[in-house]
Structure 1
């Protein structure tokens, strides 16, 4: 478990002894696919670290549409906002596959922040990063047409979570078309057609024996430039 915790941005600068202190406060549990972990509006009393699996962070618009704010994977965490402001949960968190979590109670996490000021600073840095991501999401949805949204979305995937494959191609974990549609506030059919066209043009390529796809980032930049 120490290896996973050391990969979490919030805990990345802790030494082994400090990591062990954090791990000692954590209780683990497994959540099945599609099960709700946190419900928007609930009182928050814990921070969660994803040990295995993935979750989606979402809320529902007044018209009933689900808006996905982000997808989090192993090594990432959630639930920190309610711990810091003692307000109800701001979004719903749902497992997108069978997911193993480490749970740290509110009082224990707050004590860690008091004992380790550098941990509090990392927490603020992570909150700032997530706020920037949310701002970019709002910018895409409010000011861009669907092609703009999709190309910028793919570019952000490459920037945040990728590994160079070959040439201008980078490996990324591409969510389902429905998840992308929910994040970009459009329909699954629209996203499927757009991604299908990118695959036909060789800008997105399937990778054998992998859940990831290869994205030609130079071609994505060219498409973005042509739309501006």
Structure 2
């Protein structure tokens, strides 16, 4: 079910680009962006879909992935509150090249292509934001190729957890603020492309290294830079 966003200022509070817009541009966004509830396990979009919206997470947890020709699931990224995605497909006017699935109940904001194009044509700060976001996403995807091909599962889990604190791609989680993440071991397995049991083993190892602590229903990051560098001592 699609509906107008209630209390848009609060809903956009974690989105970096929203704070950059001129008041008249933000008003257009508030008037034209809608939200939709996606239950856990539901698809936000599928590979091959026509791209008509730029999308962002109001609250919840999404996974961006694709199925390789040999049937392997390849996870590209995860998105939490404040994260937006799909700008590349909109700019190239090509079909969606990945699936996006809700790992838990999630509310998603949908910005129509016309609104997105209006901001591109009229807001220099919005263009600067997109340049930064595209560059950061490219860097993340390059590193994920390394994770998949070269790194062992323990390192993959460590790096994927660290990537959740990316200031542009997941602005809802900021280094230096609350370092506790409400995330299940199954969800960690999904974003790291390992089984839940293997994710549990990796978390036990990372806990012994004093990089994180495993809590009930989540984890607390103790050493973010250590997770980013793992397994370096």
Task: Please tell me whether the aligned partners of residues 6 and 14 of structure 1 are also in contact (alpha carbons under 8 angstroms).
Answer: no
* TM-score (normalised: structure 1): 0.81
- Map 1:89-168 onto structure 2 (within 5 A): 89-157=96-164, 160=167, 161-164=173-176
Distance 1:195 1:100, change over 3 A: same
Q: State the distance in 2 between where 1:159 and 1:79 align.
A: 17
Q: CA RMSD in A?
A: 2.7
Q: Which runs of 5+ in 1 are unaligned?
A: none
SS in 2 for 1:88: coil
- Map 1:74-85 onto structure 2 (within 5 A): 74-85=81-92
Task: Please tell me whether the aligned partners of residues 58 and 81 of structure 2 are also in contact (alpha carbons under 8 angstroms).
Answer: yes
Task: Please tell me whether the aligned partners of residues 155 and 220 of structure 1 are also in contact (alpha carbons under 8 angstroms).
Answer: yes
- Map 1:204-223 onto structure 2 (within 5 A): 204-207=212-215, 211-217=217-223, 220=227
Question: How many residue pairs are counted as aligned between the two chains?
Answer: 220
Distance 1:31 1:81, change over 3 A: same
* TM-score (normalised: structure 2): 0.80
Task: Please tell me whether the aligned partners of residues 34 and 110 of structure 2 are also in contact (alpha carbons under 8 angstroms).
Answer: yes
1:194 aligns with 2:202: yes
Q: State the distance in 2 between where 1:178 and 1:56 align.
A: 12
Q: State the distance in 2 between where 1:193 and 1:104 align.
A: 40
Pick the structure with more helix per residue: 1
Q: State the distance in 2 between where 1:112 and 1:155 align.
A: 31
Superposition deviation, residue 17 in structure 1? 3.4
Task: Please tell me whether the aligned partners of residues 56 and 83 of structure 2 are also in contact (alpha carbons under 8 angstroms).
Answer: yes
Task: Please tell me whether the aligned partners of residues 65 and 73 of structure 2 are also in contact (alpha carbons under 8 angstroms).
Answer: yes
Q: Which has the larger radius of gyration?
A: 1
